[in-house]
Amino acid sequence: MTQLETTRITVLTVPDCPNAPLVRERIAEAFEGRTVPVEWTEVQDAEEATRRGMTGSPTLLLDGSDPFSHDSLRPSLSCRLYRHADGTTDGAPAIADLRRVLAESGV
């Protein structure tokens, strides 16, 4: 079994998250045509967000850990913004950042 087959990839969103299509597109591009199972979970309330480690929508988890987390993030149902290397922000990790964290996790 390869690391790709054993690493659990989960994306947590709120219902009707406006950034869900963007993160889905970037994840697909980061995998460069490989078919990879991704679990998509809609988080319904603050208790569930806390339990699952959701720090805004969308939150990407690799084996239950958020590779984009930092100390100032707290559990939240709010929209999440990701800062990119060029200083811009938007609602999903940059493709290069996704590729980096996936490679670091062995995917």
Q: What number of H helices and E strands is found in the chain?
A: 4, 7
* pLDDT, position 18: 95
Nearest to 39 by CA among 63, 73, 66: 63
pLDDT, average across residues 19-43: 93
The model's confidence at residue 52, banded by pLDDT at 50, 70 and 90, is: very high
Read off the pLDDT band of 106 (50, 70, 90): confident
- Is the distance from CB of 58 to CB of 79 less than 8 angstroms? no
Q: What is the pLDDT of residue 6?
A: 74
The pTM for the full model equals 0.89
